Amino acid sequence: MADTIYVLNGPNLNLLGLREPEIYGHDTLDDIAGRMEDRARELGLEIDLRQSNHEGHLIDWLHEAQAYGAKAVILNPGGYTHTSIALHDAVKSITTPVIEVHLSNPHAREEFRHTSFVGRAARGTVAGFGALSYMLALEAAARF
């Protein structure tokens, strides 16, 4: 698992490509996964991409990444970014590096999106570059 990067996606990200494309773009999560898998192969890595609308699944997968010795986690917590102390605590509880990723720039949006509990615990954050945010996070994760 040392060559595996978990890519965890939170609520509503299963609707990418359909949900508010003016904010999140037209790429689906499958489109993003395909590009990430291609680039990961070039880097000698594997991607384990998952999505859940349930907070507990994300927490379990963070723990699993640690237990299985994943190289890193790329986490798009979706709306949990701004609300989940539990995700914050889960990120802090593992030594596996976590990179928070967002398609949009939360700081350029509504005030309530300006606080990221996950970002306070993550190694770093990539935001505002649409689907490219995932690729930039992958490039960073490959260097851990």
How many whole angstroms separate alpha carbon 65 and alpha carbon 97? Answer: 10
**24 annotated active-site:** yes
Going by C-beta distance under 8 Å and a sequence separation of 6 or more, which residues neighbour residue 33?
Answer: 7, 47, 49
User: Residue 96: left (phi > 0), alpha (psi -120 to 50), or beta?
Assistant: beta
Q: Please tell me which residue in 6, 80, 88, 102 is annotated as part of the active site.
A: 102
Q: Please tell me which residue in 6, 24, 80, 134 is annotated as part of the active site.
A: 24
What stretch of H or E contains 75?
strand 72-76
How many whole angstroms separate alpha carbon 46 and alpha carbon 39? Answer: 9
* Amino acid letter for position 103: L
Active site residues: 24, 102
